[in-house]
């Protein structure tokens, strides 16, 4: 079916109202609705369904990134076994967290179930993304909690061979804990695991405003590997109109090939009120878009990306998810990030008439 960019998304159509077969898509979105180790409010397991529903509102022409749909975007079937595994692992994780927070040891069988679930998700996401990268396609993981990024980053890092991979990490949280609530593969440990297990990764964090002593010690101990732009240190640039200057510095820390991992809570909570662990402060939507725009203009190549921790308002029923504000922001951000990834691989830039005074 031809795409009508002027009309509404057809009922029952795919992500962004497109019907590109997965086999023909240059960008493949892999939904991973996993939240076993979520520590505060659960809900991101409904993120992919909500983003899919909300994506039908996204206009296909975009002033920042042009016509990403022409690159071919499709969402694959994900992992049919995942929802059941997620439910079982989440229940086991809750029992572990209850034990740990009351000073007891977690039940060993539950701890093992969570660990094995996390390892399986890591392994299967890595396999899926590796196959896409081998095919010169762009893997896009849609979470789920932040733990789902690990497998995608592992695939991208391995695809680099001897070359370095920059990981541009947008988040309120440093995610550098050695383990959290007893889980080695927690969302709160994902970047620690990336840095420790993928020697060619260079991690650059932006927007961080929730962290512990041990995470700061880890950052200090990794001067060539980890650079953290704390939100408090970015505030001056944000408030004084120096955002592009600080973006240039951030980008300068990254090698040519970049994996982009966006925890939606890196944005201001007004953009993600239902996410699991919202924190005041953070980047505006425009600041994140400007950072990505400058990244592409600087000649960096986006090899893969993810958007995680999007959660719809828990009051919404399954058939109402398209009206979720969190998912609306998530879908629009996802479309732009896909667009930037395609621009970074030579897609044509947008060609809009510019009004007087606009450069
Ligand atoms: Mn976070």
Mean pLDDT score, 191-212: 98
Q: How far is the CA of 266 from the centre of ligand 1 (A)?
A: 6
Rounded percentage of the chain residues whose pLDDT exceeds 70: 99
Q: How far is the CA of 96 from the centre of ligand 1 (A)?
A: 21
Q: Is residue 252 part of a domain?
A: yes
Domain count, the chain: 1
* 60 has pLDDT over 60: yes
Q: How far is the CA of 331 from the centre of ligand 1 (A)?
A: 18
For residue 7, the model assigns a pLDDT of 83
Specify the residue for token string 């999007």: 310
For residue 3, the model assigns a pLDDT of 76
Mean pLDDT score, 261-270: 98
Q: How far is the CA of 346 from the centre of ligand 1 (A)?
A: 31
Q: Is residue 313 part of a domain?
A: yes
Q: Is residue 307 part of a domain?
A: yes
Alpha-carbon span 342 to 291, nearest angstrom: 16
Contact 144, 180 (CB under 8 A): no
> For residue 183, what are the β-bridge partners?
180
Q: Is residue 3 part of a domain?
A: no
* 311 has pLDDT over 60: yes
Which two structure tokens, joined as six digits, stand for 166?
Answer: 């920059």
Choose among 78, 71, 20: nearest CA to 51: 78
Q: How far is the CA of 339 from the centre of ligand 1 (A)?
A: 23
Q: How far is the CA of 321 from the centre of ligand 1 (A)?
A: 22
What would the DSSP string read from start to end of 105-154? PPPHHHHHHHHHHHHHHHHHHHHHHHHHHHTT-EEEEEESSGGGHHHHHH
Q: How far is the CA of 264 from the centre of ligand 1 (A)?
A: 7
What are 8-28's pLDDT values in tens digits? 888 888 999 999 999 999 999
Q: How far is the CA of 273 from the centre of ligand 1 (A)?
A: 13
Q: How far is the CA of 43 from the centre of ligand 1 (A)?
A: 14
Higher-scoring residue by pLDDT: 351, 172:
172
Which two structure tokens, joined as six digits, stand for 153?
Answer: 């980053």
Task: State the residue range of the domain holding 41.
Answer: 15-76+125-343
Q: For 210, phi and psi rounded to 5 degrees?
A: -140, 115
Q: Is 187 helix (H, G, I), strand (E, B) or coil?
A: helix
Q: Is residue 93 part of a domain?
A: no
Our measurement of the distance from residue 185's CA atom to the centroid of its chain's CA atoms, rounded to an integer in Å, reads 17
Instruction: Identify the band that residue 181 occupies on the pLDDT scale cut at 50, 70 and 90.
Output: confident
Q: How far is the CA of 169 from the centre of ligand 1 (A)?
A: 10
Contact 219, 174 (CB under 8 A): yes
Q: How far is the CA of 145 from the centre of ligand 1 (A)?
A: 9
Q: Is residue 355 part of a domain?
A: no
Our measurement of the distance from residue 286's CA atom to the centroid of its chain's CA atoms, rounded to an integer in Å, reads 17
Q: How far is the CA of 92 from the centre of ligand 1 (A)?
A: 22
Which two structure tokens, joined as six digits, stand for 256?
Answer: 């040519």
* 1 has pLDDT over 60: no
Q: Is residue 276 part of a domain?
A: yes
What is the number of other CB atoms lying within 10 angstroms of the CB of residue 197? 12
Contact 266, 163 (CB under 8 A): no
Q: How far is the CA of 263 from the centre of ligand 1 (A)?
A: 5
Contact 88, 81 (CB under 8 A): no
Instruction: Identify the band that residue 4 occupies on the pLDDT scale cut at 50, 70 and 90.
Output: confident
For residue 131, the model assigns a pLDDT of 98
Query: Where do runs of H (alpha helix) occur along the chain?
Result: 47-54, 82-101, 108-134, 149-159, 190-197, 213-220, 231-239, 243-252, 285-297, 325-343
Contact 153, 201 (CB under 8 A): yes
Instruction: Identify the band that residue 180 occupies on the pLDDT scale cut at 50, 70 and 90.
Output: confident
Alpha-carbon span 47 to 330, nearest angstrom: 9
User: What mean pLDDT value characterizes the chain?
Assistant: 95
Q: How far is the CA of 171 from the centre of ligand 1 (A)?
A: 5
Q: How far is the CA of 355 from the centre of ligand 1 (A)?
A: 38
Q: How far is the CA of 172 from the centre of ligand 1 (A)?
A: 5
Q: What's the first-to-final CA gap in the chain, in angstroms?
A: 37
Q: For 106, phi and psi rounded to 5 degrees?
A: -65, 145
CATH number at residue 200: 3.40.800.10
Q: Is residue 329 part of a domain?
A: yes
Choose among 196, 195, 206, 209: nearest CA to 168: 206
* 2 has pLDDT over 80: no
């Amino acid at each position: 079916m031809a795409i009508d960019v002027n009309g509404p998304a057809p009922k029952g159509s795919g992500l962004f109202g497109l019907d590109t077969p997965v086999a023909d898509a240059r960008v493949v979105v892999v939904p991973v609705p996993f939240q076993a180790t979520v520590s505060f409010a659960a809900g991101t397991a409904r993120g992919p369904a909500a983003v899919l529903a909300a994506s039908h509102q996204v206009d296909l022409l975009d002033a920042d990134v042009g016509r990403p749909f022409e690159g071919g975007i499709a969402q694959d079937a994900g992992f049919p076994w995942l929802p059941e595994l997620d439910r079982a692992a989440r229940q086991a994780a809750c029992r572990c967290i209850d034990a740990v927070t009351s000073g007891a040891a977690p039940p060993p069988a539950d701890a093992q179930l969570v660990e094995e679930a996390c390892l399986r998700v890591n392994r299967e996401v890595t396999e899926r993304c590796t196959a896409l990268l081998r095919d010169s396609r762009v893997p896009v993981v849609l979470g789920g909690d932040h733990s789902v990024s690990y497998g995608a980053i592992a695939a991208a890092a391995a695809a680099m061979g001897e070359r370095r991979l920059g990981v541009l990490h947008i988040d309120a949280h440093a995610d550098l804990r050695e383990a959290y609530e007893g889980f080695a593969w927690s969302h709160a440990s994902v970047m620690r695991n990336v840095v420790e297990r993928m020697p060619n990764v260079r991690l650059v964090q932006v927007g961080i405003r929730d962290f512990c002593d041990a995470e700061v010690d880890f950052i200090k101990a990794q001067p060539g590997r980890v650079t953290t732009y704390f939100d408090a240190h970015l505030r001056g640039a944000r408030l004084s109109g120096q955002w592009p200057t600080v973006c240039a510095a951030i980008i300068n820390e990254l090698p040519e090939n970049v994996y982009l991992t966006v925890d939606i809570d890196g944005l201001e909570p007004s953009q993600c009120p239902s996410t699991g662990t919202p924190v005041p402060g953070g980047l505006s939507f425009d600041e994140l878009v400007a950072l990505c725009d400058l990244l592409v203009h600087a000649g960096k190549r986006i090899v893969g990306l993810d958007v995680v921790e999007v959660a719809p308002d828990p009051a919404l029923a399954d058939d109402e998810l398209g009206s979720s504000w969190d998912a609306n922001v998530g879908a629009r951000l996802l479309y732009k990030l896909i667009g930037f990834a395609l621009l970074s691989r030579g897609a044509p830039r947008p060609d809009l008439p510019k009004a007087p005074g606009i450069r």
